[in-house]
């Protein structure tokens, strides 16, 4: 016997147990779930209305009455923080969906039509040359600032990342022998290819989309902080931190809590993205 004990050879483990085996994925999902629940149930959980002014109670430090303190208008920061989660999650999710729609379409077009490929590939490269925040604020400036604009801008900014993956995969699959054979026989191949490409791409798209979700939330916060995104009156984590900027050193809680909320949200998304990558395709691990 060369082996003192051998690992148990189990059957194909279920998805749930696979998730439980990955601690970081589990932590990410739990935190993300908690944030989502808080945001969705904000009207039930929040002790105060997010915009209820109370000038007498302005700039109160955290206490039993105001868990996260109050801001310069006496609004409850805890309530505003969980309401802000609604908008941050909404912007992140919508921008990710839009980026996926644009990116997958562009990638497929580039991969399927040789003639379009040169142009699309170059556009993808050029888009990646713009720093994400800079491109986003320029787009917002061009389109006029509003919630919808921020979503559109971020969707455009992050689309090339997905387009790149889809294009590369499509280019590989179109060279597969049976696709070539089908093409030689005159069978319309795009339908077969589409099915194959999409099936192969589910995992990498899902993983990349998770990261884009994270980046989009960070970018939205940055835009709101810079004052070029949604209106400063709307509570988002970015606008709350921007408002707290004047009170750094005197009312630190105004910046502290929304910041922690962003970090938790982005971190949990990254944990989920990492965990999904390991779970769905260990080969993807390398290209971070």
Partner 1 sequence: MVITASSGVGTGAALALPPHVQLKVEDLQTYFIQGASTVKSVDGVSFSLSRGQTLAVVGESGSGKSVTSLTIMRLLAHPGRIVGGRVLYRLRGGDVVDLAQLPEKRMRAIRGREIAMIFQEPMTSLNPLFTVGDQIMEMILLHESVSRDEARVRAKRMLELVEIPAPERRLDQYPHEMSGGMRQRVMIALALSCNPSLLIADEPTTALDVTIQAQILDLLRRLQKEIGMSILFITHNLGVVAEIAHEVVVMYAGRVVEQGLVLNVFERPRHPYTRGLLACIPDVRRDRTEGGGRRLLNAIPGNVPSALDLPTGCAFAPRCPLVVDRCRELPPLIPVSEDHLSRCWRYDDL
Partner 2 sequence: MTRYVIRRFLGMIAVMFTVVTIVFVIVRVAPGDPAAVMLGPDATAADIATLREKLGLDRPLILQYLYFLGQLLRGDLGQSIFLNMPVLSALAERAEPTFFLTLFSILIASAIALPVGILAAYKRGSLFDQVATTLAMLAASIPSFWLGLIFIQVFAVRFSWFPVSGYGGPDASFIVRLSHLILPATTLGIVSSALITRFTRASMLDVLNDDYVRTARSKGMGEFQVVMKHAFKNALIPVLTVIGLTAALLVSGAVVTETVFSLPGVGNLVVSAVLRRDYPVIQGALLVIAALYVLINFVIDMLYLVVDPRVRY
Nearest residue (CB) to partner 1, 4 versus 17: 4
Listed ranges 2-10, 24-32, 112-120, 225-233: which one lies at the site for partner 1 (CB under 8 A): 2-10
Listed ranges 1-9, 225-233, 266-274, 277-285: which one lies at the site for partner 1 (CB under 8 A): 1-9
Q: Which of 197, 266, 272, 276 binds partner 2 (CB under 8 A)?
A: 266
d(Cα 42, Cα 34) in Å, to the nearest integer?
Answer: 12
* Nearest residue to 117 via CA among 130, 108, 128: 108
Q: Which of 94, 244, 272, 277 binds partner 2 (CB under 8 A)?
A: 244
Helix ranges (DSSP H) in the chain: 15-21, 23-40, 42-45, 77-112, 114-128, 132-143, 147-174, 177-184, 190-226, 237-244, 253-280
The 3-state DSSP class for residue 192 equals helix
Residue 221 · residue 241 · CB < 8 Å: yes
Listed ranges 6-14, 36-44, 188-196, 265-273: which one lies at the site for partner 2 (CB under 8 A): 265-273
d(Cα 51, Cα 32) in Å, to the nearest integer?
Answer: 25
Least distance in angstroms from the C-beta of 9 to partner 1: 9
* Nearest residue to 95 via CA among 211, 260, 250, 216: 216
Q: Fill in the DSSP letter of residue 50.
A: T
Residue 137 binds which one of partner 1, partner 2, none, with CB within 5 to 8 A depending on kind?
Answer: partner 2
2 binds partner 1 (CB under 8 A): yes
Least distance in angstroms from the C-beta of 251 to partner 1: 51
d(Cα 281, Cα 59) in Å, to the nearest integer?
Answer: 49
Nearest residue (CB) to partner 2, 48 versus 213: 213
Least distance in angstroms from the C-beta of 256 to partner 2: 8
* Nearest residue to 75 via CA among 220, 229, 243: 243
- Name the site residues for partner 2 (rule: CB under 8 A): 122-123, 125-135, 137-144, 214, 218, 221-222, 225-228, 238, 241, 244-245, 248-249, 252, 255-256, 259, 262-263, 266-267, 270-271, 274, 285-286, 288
- Name the site residues for partner 1 (rule: CB under 8 A): 1-7
């Amino acid at each position: 016997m060369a082996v003192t004990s051998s690992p148990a050879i189990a059957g194909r483990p279920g998805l749930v147990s696979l998730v439980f085996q990955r601690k970081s994925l589990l932590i990410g999902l739990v935190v993300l779930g908690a944030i989502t629940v808080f945001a969705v149930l904000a009207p039930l959980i929040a002790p105060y209305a997010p915009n209820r002014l109370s000038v007498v109670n302005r700039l109160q430090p955290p206490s039993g009455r105001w868990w996260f303190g109050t801001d310069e208008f006496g609004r409850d920061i805890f309530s505003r923080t969980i309401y802000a989660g609604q908008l941050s999650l909404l912007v992140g999710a919508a921008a990710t969906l839009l980026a996926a729609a644009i990116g997958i379409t562009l990638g497929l077009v580039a991969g399927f039509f040789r003639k379009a490929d040169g142009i699309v590939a170059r556009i993808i490269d050029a888009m990646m040359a713009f720093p994400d925040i800079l491109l986003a604020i320029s787009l917002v400036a061009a389109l006029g600032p509003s919630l919808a604009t921020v979503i559109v801008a971020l969707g455009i900014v992050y689309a090339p990342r997905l387009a790149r993956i889809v294009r590369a995969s499509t280019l590989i699959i179109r060279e597969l022998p049976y696709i070539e054979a089908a093409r030689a026989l005159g069978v319309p191949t795009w339908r077969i290819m589409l099915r194959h490409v999409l099936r192969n791409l589910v995992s990498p798209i899902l993983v990349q989309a998770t990261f884009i979700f994270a980046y989009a939330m960070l970018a939205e916060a940055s835009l709101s902080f810079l004052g070029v995104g949604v209106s400063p009156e709307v509570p988002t984590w970015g606008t709350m931190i921007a408002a707290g900027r004047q009170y750094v050193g005197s009312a630190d809680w105004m910046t502290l809590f929304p910041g922690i909320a962003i970090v938790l949200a982005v971190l949990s998304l990254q944990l989920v993205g990492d965990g999904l990558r390991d779970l769905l395709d260990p080969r993807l691990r390398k290209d971070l």
